[in-house]
């Protein structure tokens, strides 16, 4: 099984400041035939289902604000919120969909400082 880890567990950032979340997979999730990393980022707010933000490590889902960006390849990935807004308070999960069993990181809680 591919184990996903995230850091930090939580972070508090001032409004308008940058938030950075790291994710590491225990094995590469890069599919060599298309050179794409099968890594996604989700945002989950209390009482709501997860919302897809980023797929293929760096492609923003339609309708997601451009302050959200993803980077990385292989085993190391980053989600950046360039200018934190109040509505971004949530738990963020990375997720590998490269192989079964599909796995998620433990989540990073983002709050306002």
Partner 1 sequence: EVQLVESGGGLVQPGGSLRLSCAASGFTFSSYWMNWVRRAPGEGLVWVSRIKSDGSGASYVDSVKGRFTISRDNAKNTLYLQMNSLRAEDTAVYYCARISGSYGGVSDFWGQGTVVTVSS
The binding site for partner 1 (CB under 8 A) comprises 31, 36, 38, 40, 42, 44, 48-52, 55-56, 59, 61, 93, 95, 97, 100-107
CA distance 88 to 75: 25
Q: If DSSP codes are grouped into helix, strand and coil, which group holds residue 10? A: strand
Residue closer to partner 1 (CB basis): 16 or 48: 48
CA distance 90 to 32: 33
Strands 36-37 and 19-25: unpaired
Residue closer to partner 1 (CB basis): 77 or 93: 93
Report in angstroms how near the CB of residue 22 gets to partner 1 at its nearest. Answer: 16
Report in angstroms how near the CB of residue 106 gets to partner 1 at its nearest. Answer: 5
CA distance 90 to 13: 12
Residue closer to partner 1 (CB basis): 75 or 97: 97
Report in angstroms how near the CB of residue 107 gets to partner 1 at its nearest. Answer: 5
Handedness of CA 110, 5, 50, 20 (dihedral sign): positive
Residue closer to partner 1 (CB basis): 36 or 67: 36
**Residue of 69, 68, 85 lying closest to 14 (CA atoms):** 85
Report in angstroms how near the CB of residue 80 gets to partner 1 at its nearest. Answer: 19
């Amino acid at each position: 099984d591919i184990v996903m880890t995230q850091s930090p567990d939580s972070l508090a950032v001032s409004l308008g400041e940058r938030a950075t979340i790291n994710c590491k997979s225990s094995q590469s999730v890069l599919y060599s035939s298309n050179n794409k990393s099968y890594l996604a980022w989700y945002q989950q707010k209390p009482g709501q289902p997860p919302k897809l933000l980023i797929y293929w490590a760096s492609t923003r889902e339609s309708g997601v604000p451009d302050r959200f960006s993803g980077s990385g390849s292989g085993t190391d990935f980053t989600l950046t919120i360039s200018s934190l807004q109040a509505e971004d308070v949530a738990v963020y999960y990375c997720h590998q969909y490269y192989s079964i069993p599909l796995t998620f990181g433990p989540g990073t809680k983002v709050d306002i400082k």
